[in-house]
Copies of this chain bind each other. A is one copy, B any other.
C-alpha cells in the first residue's frame, strides 16, 4: 500500500491543528496595546504549541522519507499519534487562559508525554513492516532524543505542582532539543547515495 494518502491526510491534520489554535487567540475588548496584556499568556502558550506541532510534522516528514510502503497497522499507529496531537489545541487554550497555573501545565505535559510515547509506537510499526536491515531501522540508532524527552516531560509534570513556570521551562527545553531537526535519516540517505 502506498504512503501517499497517509502523508496527505497527516499533512492535512498537522496543518489544521497548527492553524486552528490561533482561533483561541480571541481579539481583546479594548483597542490599545495595553488591552493585549491578558492575551500574552495565551500567545506564549500558542508559540510553544506551534513549535511542537512543527517539530512533529518535521520529524514525521523525515521518518516517512525512509518509508516505502504502509499497512493497516501503520495507519492506526499514525492515527494514534494524530489523536494525541489533536488534544494540543485544547490544553494550549486551558494553559493560556489560566496563566500557566499548576493543573493545566501538568495536563499540557501529559498530552506531550502521550504524543512522545505514541511516536515510537508508529516508528516500530514501520520497522516491523520494513525489516531490521531496512533504511528506517538502521538510521534510528539509540533514539537518545526521544528517551530524554520522555524523561523531561515526566519531570515537568511532577514539577508543575511545585512551580509551574519551571515545568514550562522544561517543556521549552525539550522543544529546543528537537528544534535541531532529526538529521539521522537525512545523513543515512546521503551516505547511501
A residues apposed to B, CB below 8 Å: 1-2, 5-9, 11-20, 22-23, 25-28, 31-33, 35-36, 47, 50, 54, 57-58, 61-62, 64-65, 71-72, 75-76, 79, 82-83, 86-87, 89-90, 93-94, 97-98, 101-104, 107, 179, 181, 183, 186, 189
Which 8 A-B residue pairings sit nearest by Cβ, starting from the closest?
A: A12-B15, A27-B94, A72-B181, A31-B98, A16-B19, A31-B101, A27-B93, A54-B79
A104 partner residues in chain B, CB cutoff 8 A? 27, 31
Whether A16 contacts B16 in the complex (CB less than 8 A), given A50-B86, A57-B9, A65-B1, comes out as: yes
Nearest-neighbour CB distance to chain B for A40, whole angstroms, equals 13
Extra pairs beyond A11-B12, A32-B103 (13, CB < 8 Å):
A2-B65, A8-B8, A8-B11, A9-B61, A16-B19, A16-B20, A28-B94, A31-B104, A33-B107, A47-B83, A58-B72, A58-B75, A71-B186
> A83–B12 contact, CB under 8 A?
no
Give which listed residue, B16, B20, B75, B97, contacts A61 with CB less than 8 A.
B75
Give which listed residue, B13, B72, B90, contacts A18 with CB less than 8 A.
B13
> A103–B5 contact, CB under 8 A?
no
Give which listed residue, B22, B26, B35, B90, contacts A25 with CB less than 8 A.
B90
Nearest-neighbour CB distance to chain B for A1, whole angstroms, equals 6
> B86–A5 contact, CB under 8 A?
no
Nearest-neighbour CB distance to chain B for A10, whole angstroms, equals 8
